Amino acid sequence: MVRRSSLVVTKAGNVGVERNIMSKKKADAIVTELKKKVVETCRAVYTSGLTGKRAGNISTRIPNRDQMIITPSHYGHNKTEVGDLLVVNFDGSLASGTRPPSSENRMHLAVYKARPDVGAVIHTHSAYACVLAVNRMSIPPFIDEMVPFLGGEIAIADYGMPGSDELAANAVKGLGDRSAVLLANHGVLCTGKNLEKALEAAEIAEHTAKVYVTALTIGKPILLPDDAVDLQKSAYGFLRDSAD
């Protein structure tokens, strides 16, 4: 009886170990796939002209873990590879990686903690967003696509020193439940359910800033009617939470 009981325990133990190995392999495969997507996004932000090769940073949340993958500090988006990326725990400690993580990792972590719906964060120094950021001007809802895709106004966050907890807190406050926020005297931060959607938000935010700055040079842009904003905001929640 003793021997049979030991055998059952051993078999059950083996099954448990095998399951753990399989689930770890599956989790590792997901992380590898996400890292490849971060690299693709690095190339996209650089080749599209959204930001300089060493400016800005990109991250994505690792599902079901309190961790994110983030780009290294001050390293070219044109040459970043999977092996250059870092995994950072939500307590700020480094889980894996050899390079120093982006100095803005606190800002990325703060957004993930405040917004469970956000799966990816892209911070750039795109030109027209910076024009408004240095003038500390927000962008009111004045063109249709900014409401359903970004959630309405692109607010200007209060100033915080680069890399500081103050900047992180101000960015979260300015972002609210929307998908883009201007960072005073610095740049812009955009979010999405995944990297593709965060990139789309970054592109729309820069386009919106460009149209707004240009419109201001020839007149005074007319804001969207309140009822149109209300209607389009209801679409925002659906679009924000869909995977594509």
Nearer to Zn ion, 147 or 156 (CB): 156
Nearer to Zn ion, 205 or 229 (CB): 205
| Window of 64-72, 131-139, 151-159, 181-189 that interacts with Zn ion by CB under 5 A | 181-189
Nearer to Zn ion, 41 or 232 (CB): 41
| Window of 59-67, 85-93, 106-114, 185-193 that interacts with Zn ion by CB under 5 A | 185-193
Site for Zn ion in 199-228 (CB under 5 A): none
Q: How far is the CB of 138 from Zn ion (least distance, A)?
A: 18
Q: How far is the CB of 21 from Zn ion (least distance, A)?
A: 40
Q: How far is the CB of 75 from Zn ion (least distance, A)?
A: 14
Instruction: Say how far apart CA 224 and CA 234 lie, in whole Å.
Output: 15
Q: How far is the CB of 77 from Zn ion (least distance, A)?
A: 13
Judged by CB under 5 A, the number of residues near Zn ion is 1
The token duo for 91 is 């307590």
Task: Give the Å distances, CA to CA, from 233 to 120, 150, 166, 194.
Answer: 21, 9, 29, 20
| Window of 75-83, 148-156, 184-192, 221-229 that interacts with Zn ion by CB under 5 A | 184-192
Residue nearest Zn ion, CB atom distance = 187
Nearer to Zn ion, 190 or 224 (CB): 190
The token duo for 6 is 């030991």
Q: According to DSSP H, which parts of the chain are helical? A: 2-47, 105-114, 127-134, 146-150, 165-175, 195-218, 226-241
| Window of 64-72, 73-81, 92-100, 182-190 that interacts with Zn ion by CB under 5 A | 182-190
DSSP code at position 178: S
- 153 near 138, Cβ under 8 Å? yes
Give buried/exposed letters for 145-184 (b at 16+ CB in 10 A, else e): ebbbbbbbbbbbbeebeeeeeebbbbbbebbeebbbbbbb
Q: How far is the CB of 81 from Zn ion (least distance, A)?
A: 22
Instruction: Say how far apart CA 54 and CA 81 lie, in whole Å.
Output: 14
Nearer to Zn ion, 101 or 187 (CB): 187
How far out from the chain centre does Cα 40 lie?
14
Tell me the catalytic residues: 104
Q: Which residues bind Zn ion (CB under 5 A)?
A: 187
